[in-house]
Amino acid sequence: ASNSYVDPIFLNDLTHKVIKEDNIKLENATILVLCRNWELKDILSSMRSLEDKFNKDYHYPWTFLNDVPFDDEFIEWTTAMASGKTEYGLIPEEDWSTPSFINQTKYDESIEYAIANEIIYGFSKSYRNMCKFNSGYFFRQELVNKYDYYFRVEPDVEYFCDFQMDPFRLMREQNKKYSFIMTLYEYPATIPTLWETVEEFFQIHPDYLHPNNSYDFITDKEPIGTAALELGESSYNLCHFWSNFEIGDLNFFRSKEYIDYFNFLNEKGGFYYERWGDAPVHSIAAALLLDKEEIYHFEDIGYNHVPFFSYPRGEQIKKHKRCIIPKDKDSMDVAIGSCLPRWWKLGGGKKFLKEYYHQ
Ligand code: GDP
Ligand code: MN
């Protein structure tokens, strides 16, 4: 007799998942994951959390993207964990790797500089590819093209409260185009020339600036307002939406304005010569190209991505949404390093959409 355990043969019948059709009208949306094969355990943990708190009641499809093919083990386990269908896409080489216009010598020097100065992820070429991909390509992948909304999920994150509503429906009905949970300050060493590049872009396209933008959220002490941006005299205060959680309108990213913005940034080379993150790139675009009413703060989900936690504040919400708050973990929302108080001060989040929540 062998000691090794073999699955009973009938388990093979479970390979075809039956997705229960509830009478819920779904949005044209997907849960979107970019990750690596070796992150399987951590993405299963994120999936378990999001399925239990939200998707088990909706069965939205999951879309997985990778710069190398997903292996069979990854596909089998994530398919089993999802309550909706799963699709797996390989990112085309040209959407991922270093563009040919990048000067190799200058790039190598910038990596050395980043290592010497201990810039976070500064040593990593794949991290730069990832940030560029998440800035300019995720919304135009073959598997993603058919959708209007996405919910970005990363490995090893956790959601603390029952959703009790469909965030995609909220986004569509309330005409929201970008949403966040946490907002923080970016590491300045990763983006030395990002803001001057943004200024240059808006000098060429002043008409792209939304009249009801969130300029005041991302700049400080600017007596002449957005005019300073066009004059090249504004300054970025480093506030950005933390993009490891995002629910967004894919058609915003596919717009001419965003694509022009991305192309302009990309051609400047800052994703490679510096280490521009997709978070400030998305955030600056959302803040300047969108109406500030089109940006939504999901304050009642409760979320952790290392090293920060965010919790809803109201006792009623915590009770009725069955939030479990890990002990000894302070919410980032009003901690030093959070830009959320600034968001509130500027009028963000005034309208809590209570009609979306069970009473
Ligand atoms: P951090 O959140 O900034 O610390 O960075 P992560 O390591 O979590 O990376 C951000 C996201 O990109 C996660 O979903 C990762 O799984 C994914 N990611 C990062 N690098 C790569 C890569 O080289 N290939 C693939 N396929 N995914 C990556
Ligand atoms: Mn992460």
Tell whether ligand 1 has an atom less than 6 A from the beta carbon of residue 320: no
Alpha helices in 209-249, H assignment, sequence order:
215-218, 226-231
Q: CA–CA separation, 67 vs 295, rounded Å? A: 30
Average pLDDT, consecutive stretches of 10 residues, N- to C-terminus, the chain (359 residues): 61 60 86 98 98 96 98 97 97 97 97 96 97 98 98 98 95 97 97 98 97 94 80 94 98 98 98 98 98 94 97 89 91 95 82 57
Q: What is the CATH number of the domain that holds 317?
A: 3.90.550.10
Q: Is 20 inside any structural domain? A: no
Segment 222-250, tens digit of pLDDT: 667 898 998 899 999 999 999 999 999 99
Which residues make Cβ contacts (< 8 Å) with residue 307, sequence separation at least 6?
Answer: none
Q: CA–CA separation, 279 vs 208, rounded Å? A: 20
User: What integer pLDDT is reported at residue 335 of this predicted model?
Assistant: 94
User: What integer pLDDT is reported at residue 261 of this predicted model?
Assistant: 98
Segment 8-20, tens digit of pLDDT: 666 555 555 666 6
**Tokens in use for 9?**
């043969």
Closest ligand to 88 CA? 1
Residue 117 buriedness (CB in 10 A; 0-12 / 13-18 / 19+): exposed
Asked if 34 contacts 65 with a C-beta cutoff of 8 angstroms, the reply is yes
Please report, for residues 96, 172, 260, the alpha-carbon distance to residue 255 in angstroms, rounded to integers and kept in the order given: 21, 17, 9
Asked if 243 contacts 152 with a C-beta cutoff of 8 angstroms, the reply is yes
Q: Is 18 inside any structural domain? A: no
User: What integer pLDDT is reported at residue 125 of this predicted model?
Assistant: 97
Q: Is 217 inside any structural domain? A: yes
Which domain covers residue 194, as residue numbers? 26-356
Q: How far is the CA of 155 from the centre of ligand 2 (A)?
A: 6
Q: Is 189 inside any structural domain? A: yes
Tell whether ligand 1 has an atom less than 6 A from the beta carbon of residue 155: yes
- The residue with tokens 């933008």 is 213
Q: How far is the CA of 129 from the centre of ligand 1 (A)?
A: 10
Q: Is 14 inside any structural domain? A: no
Closest ligand to 278 CA? 1
Asked if the ipTM is above 0.95, the reply is yes
Q: How far is the CA of 255 from the centre of ligand 2 (A)?
A: 26
User: What integer pLDDT is reported at residue 15 of this predicted model?
Assistant: 56
Nearest to 348 by CA among 302, 303, 304, 286: 286
User: What integer pLDDT is reported at residue 359 of this predicted model?
Assistant: 37
User: What integer pLDDT is reported at residue 189 of this predicted model?
Assistant: 97
Question: Which of 199, 246, 257, 299 is the catalytic position?
Answer: 246
Helix (H) and strand (E) counts in the chain: 15, 12
Q: Is 220 inside any structural domain? A: yes
Q: Is 118 inside any structural domain? A: yes
Number of domains in the chain: 1
Q: Is 136 inside any structural domain? A: yes
User: What integer pLDDT is reported at residue 352 of this predicted model?
Assistant: 55
